[in-house]
Amino acid sequence: MYELWVDAMIKCVLLPWLFNYDYTVQAAALTGLRGYDAGMPDKVKHLVRWVRGILLKDGRPNNEQFVRSNPPEFLYKEFIGMIEYMSWHYVWHLAHSLEIIGYLHPDEKIADQALQFYDWICKKSHVTPETVDEMLERLADSNDPNKGVD
């Protein structure tokens, strides 16, 4: 049984830093990986490719059509200017993925860059960013029998 578990972990597409967190955190992080339904502007593609590189092992190394290893530093203003033309459903899936990376990623530079994107989306949306504790409470395992009990 142990060998099957080790084999599954080796073949898992998620990067190991995500294994430190509950399934709800992992699942929420993954919701930002999809492309925008109505066709994706290049600036959004670059951001999503960067997020994929932070969360997933690259099945095809050096293929920047799916994963991008370098942060899209030039995209902040361009991306924020485009979010008002995208569905909020899509924007908030991406925002929550960036929030998780921003608060939980072990590399401080990556975390800071992701959190900056998240903060800018919140500001543009006139929403107060969650704290890390608020995020973890929202994403706490729903199977906990004490969740929601006062």
Q: What are the sequence ranges of the domains in the chain?
A: 2-138
CA distances from 142 to 14, 22, 60, 80, 98 (A): 22, 10, 35, 32, 22
The pLDDT assigned to 138 comes to 93
Q: What is the pLDDT of residues 63-82, one digit of tens each?
A: 665 666 666 665 666 676 77
The pLDDT assigned to 139 comes to 93
The pLDDT assigned to 145 comes to 52
Which strand (E) or helix (H) includes residue 131? none
Low-confidence ranges of the chain (pLDDT < 70): 1-10, 39-42, 61-78, 80, 142-150
The pLDDT assigned to 149 comes to 44
Buried b (16+ CB within 10 A) or exposed e, 5-26: eeeeeeeeeeeeebeeeeeebb
What is the three-class DSSP state of 14? Answer: strand
